[in-house]
Structure 1
C-alpha cells in the first residue's frame, strides 16, 4: 500500500452503494409530485424527451424535463389512464411542452390550464379539444393517434374586442384562451369602477362583527335549549 493510499481510507462497497442509493432516493423525493404522478419514465423517443435532449441544460427525471433550477419545462403523462390531469397539474404551469395523449381525458380541459402561459406544444388524444379552442392556438394538427396544439396565442393581443376589460383595468393573458382583467392602481371592485384603496380595516371589521353576532346568537340558542331540557 502506498503512503497516498494510507491517507485516503477506502469506503466499503456496501456502504458506498447505500450512499448512492440514499442520494438517488433523495433526488426522487425532491421532484415535484406531478413528475412522479404516473408510474415509470417517459419514452426515449417521446416529443418531450426529444425536446429535453435537444435543449442544452435540461435533464429528464421521471416524467418531467427540468432545468438546472428544477423548473418544469416539459411534462410527459401519456398513457397514464388519466381522466383528468390531477390536482398536482398546476405544478407544471412553467412547461413549454406537455404530452397527454393515450389517456381517457374529459373533453373540456380549459380550466386545467390557468397560468400555463409558457405552453407552446400540447399533445392530446384525438377526441379531446385543444383548451381554449382552435382560436387559442396558431395551428392544430391531427394525426392518426393524437393531435397537437401548437403555438399558444395571447388572447389579450389576438382578440378584436377593445372592451374586453373595463376602462380602468388591463388584460393579462392567463393560459390557452384564458385571461384576467387586472384593475389599475387606485381602482378596485366590480369592473374596477371603485376608486381608492381597498379598506382592509373595514372589511375585517364587518367580518368580525358579523362572526361575533352569529356566535352570540348560537350561544343564546344553545343556552335556551339547555334550560328547557
Structure 2
C-alpha cells in the first residue's frame, strides 16, 4: 500500500484545493463593491451574461463582467430592489452594457451616468427615461416591462454648435447627453482664458495671506470687545 506522505502526489491534492480556495476568496474580496451590492447570481440568459460569455477575455464575477485586468465591462443589477443605483455605481463607468431593469428607480438619472462614456447598451425599467433623453442615443426600443437605450451618441459631434466650448478649449463626451470642455495645453481657468501653467505656489500663497488677514481681523475684533467690557 502506497504511503501518503508530504512527498506523495496524493498529498498535493488537498494543498492545491486549499490554495485555489484562498485565491478565490482573495479575488472575491477584491471585487468592486458595485459587483457585490446585490445578492444572487446573474441569469444565464441575461443580456450582460450573454455579452460576457460571447466576448473573449471576459468573465462573470458576481454581478459584474470583468476583463483580465479587473475592469468592469458589464454590470447586471436587474431585480435588485433598487430605488437608485447607489453610491458605488460610478465604479462601473467603464461598462459597455448595464442592465437595471426590474427595479423601482426614482428621479432623474442624467447625472448618474456622468463619466460613462463607453456605455453602449443600457436596459432600464419601462417607466424610466434614457439618461440624456432619446436624442442621446441612436436607438431606443420599448418592451413590455423594459426599454433599451443603445449606441450612445457623441454630443460633441452631433450638436454642430462651434461655440459650445471656448476658443482655447475642446469638447469631450462625459456620458449620455453630457459633455465637458477641456482646456488646451497651456490654458486654464474660466473659459480657458488664462494662459500658462496653474501655479500651486501662487494659489497657496493667496490662500495663506487671506487666512492671515482674516485671523488678524478677528483677533483685533476680539481685543476691542475685551477692552470695551
> Scaled by the length of structure 1, what TM-score is found?
0.89
Q: Which residue of 1 aligns with 2:151?
A: 151
Q: Which residue of 2 aligns with 1:127?
A: 127
Give unpaired runs (5+ residues) of structure 1: none
CA distance in 2 between partners of 1:50 and 1:72 (Å): 15
Change (3 A) 1:227 1:64: farther
Q: Secondary structure at the match of 2:75?
A: strand
CA RMSD after TM alignment: 2.6
Q: Which residue of 2 aligns with 1:173?
A: 173
Please report how far the alpha carbon of residue 221 of structure 1 lies from its aligned counterpart in structure 2 after TM superposition. 5.9
Q: Which residue of 1 aligns with 2:136?
A: 136
Q: How does 1:55-204 map to 2 (within 5 A)?
A: 55-204=55-204
Change (3 A) 1:12 1:57: closer
Please report how far the alpha carbon of residue 213 of structure 1 lies from its aligned counterpart in structure 2 after TM superposition. 2.9
CA distance in 1 between partners of 2:100 and 2:172 (Å): 26
CA distance in 1 between partners of 2:187 and 2:220 (Å): 42
For residues 109-167 of structure 1, the C-alpha deviation after alignment (integer angstroms, 9 at most, x for no partner) is 11111111111000001111111111110000000010000001111111121211111
Q: Secondary structure at the match of 2:68?
A: coil
Please report how far the alpha carbon of residue 104 of structure 1 lies from its aligned counterpart in structure 2 after TM superposition. 1.2
Tell whether the 8 Å contact from 1:107 to 1:129 is kept in structure 2 after alignment. Answer: no
Query: Number of residues paired by the alignment?
Result: 228
Q: Secondary structure at the match of 2:74?
A: strand
Please report how far the alpha carbon of residue 38 of structure 1 lies from its aligned counterpart in structure 2 after TM superposition. 0.9
CA distance in 2 between partners of 1:86 and 1:44 (Å): 24
Please report how far the alpha carbon of residue 199 of structure 1 lies from its aligned counterpart in structure 2 after TM superposition. 2.8
Q: Secondary structure at the match of 1:103?
A: coil
Give unpaired runs (5+ residues) of structure 2: none
Q: Secondary structure at the match of 2:212?
A: helix
CA distance in 1 between partners of 2:13 and 2:55 (Å): 38
Change (3 A) 1:226 1:34: farther
CA distance in 2 between partners of 1:191 and 1:99 (Å): 37
Between 1:102-111 and 1:26-35, the stretch displaced more is 102-111
